[in-house]
Amino acid sequence: MSDLRQQALDYHAQPIPGKIAIALTKPAETVRDLALAYSPGVAEPVREIAANPDDAYRYTGKGNLVAVISNGTAILGLGNLGPLASKPVMEGKALLFKRFAGIDAIDIEVKHETSAQFIDTVAAIADTFGGINLEDIKAPECFEIERALIERCDIPVFHDDQHGTAIVTAAGLLNALEVQGKLIGDSRIVCMGAGAAATACMDLLITCGAKPHNIFMLDRQGVIHSGRTDLNQYKQRFANDTPLRTLMDVIDGADVFVGVSGPDVLPAEAVALMAPNPVIFACSNPDPEIKPALAHSVRGDLIMGTGRSDYPNQINNVICFPFIFRGALDARASRINDAMKVAAVEAIRALVKEPVPAEVLTAAGVETLTFGKDYVIPKPMDARLLPRVARAVALAAVASGVARIALPADYMQE
């Protein structure tokens, strides 16, 4: 770990500090180039945009530009370390946007005293961008912030910690249940954690067919049930009318465990109580809710996923968010709605049922990948994710009425 720490610091510091930079898209070598790029030529697109604001997409980089915005109140698993400390993470997100979807992204870290100030700040600058990716904002403030910005902004606003996690989790879980011979509508689901990722995951699973009465969510005080008086409005939506109070109570006979909480909170004894052919997605990073080796030692019929790249079935948001934004930007969507999220889920889960290209196997360091217990979600380096997910999302934007331009018939066709 000490070696990894130094390597990470060197990676960020050398040869140039940081992970992103500005690149020019037009020549700037001659006097004529400068006359076109700036004064006097730049006045012409200014006039066009003043007359028709949509022309900003024609004459500027707005349509391929995403703001990655945080206040640093929930940085990875490190907690509230402030806006400036979040900058390496936000630059990293910008790197992923560019690497996987060709999207230009710039990080913005916001100091504020109230959620209203944060909302006002972001809303005031939103027109600069084609989309906004909110990141590492703690619950429950993140719910209010995202909802308000969706209402106030005329571009997609997407809190990836909520919806990116939910989309990848739903895709992997639906596939895992298929392998295990189960249906989501019949499955008993235990969710350890009640923050932004947990509530978004359960919301999307319900959209995908899970039954609310089969979902048991736990926070630090135990099961979220209808008799509790300490629940905020977001947890209240998942209050189950049940006499069960502890993890050991609700895990008995459960088909699914989804962990978005912390390390080593799922004991082996709990895994032993789960229904035949269970699914465990233990997504706490870097240390999952239960170590895969321990879980598999208890249950040979288990499908296991984690947030780590060194185990099978990595639940990784990079499988989703660059391509969601690619499709949303290309359709010039006003928002990212449930139809687009479900389209992303279906496109992601379908990909693992196809033969895997050799270059993906090489990048993953394996000889073979076949749809089954150790392969229910695509590898992040699978280049097919871009055209498949972006096309599905863009077509869903058109079908659901939030797209503002027509797509060519061959958009993202491979």
Instruction: Point out the residues that are catalytic.
Output: 38, 93
The strand ranges marked E within 25-96 are: 65-70
For 75-93, letters b (16+ CB in 10 Å) and e give beeeeeeebebbbbbbbbb
- A 10 A CB-CB count for 289 gives 25
Cα 106 to Cα 64: distance, rounded to the nearest angstrom: 11
DSSP state of 240: B
Q: Which of 236, 167, 228, 224 is nearest to 190 (CA)?
A: 224
The Cα angle at residue 13 between residues 12 and 15, in degrees rounded to 5? 110
| Burial tier of 152 (Cβ tally within 10 Å: 0-12, 13-18, 19+) | middle
Cα 250 to Cα 215: distance, rounded to the nearest angstrom: 9
Cα 100 to Cα 377: distance, rounded to the nearest angstrom: 17
Count Cα neighbours of 179 within 13 Å in the Cβ-side half-sphere: 24
In this structure, what token pair is assigned to residue 175?
């596939």
The Cα angle at residue 75 between residues 108 and 379, in degrees rounded to 5? 95
| Residues 348, 389 contacting (CB under 8 angstroms) | yes
Q: How far is CA 50 from CA 45, 46, 303, 332, in A?
A: 8, 6, 56, 19
Which long-range contacts link 271-278 to residues 24+ away (Cβ below 8 Å)? 271/295, 271/298, 271/299, 271/302, 272/298, 272/299, 273/248, 274/299, 275/188, 276/301, 277/180, 277/181, 277/182, 277/301, 277/302, 277/303, 278/180, 278/254, 278/302, 278/303
The torsion of the CA quartet 384, 387, 392, 395, rounded to 10 degrees, works out to -170
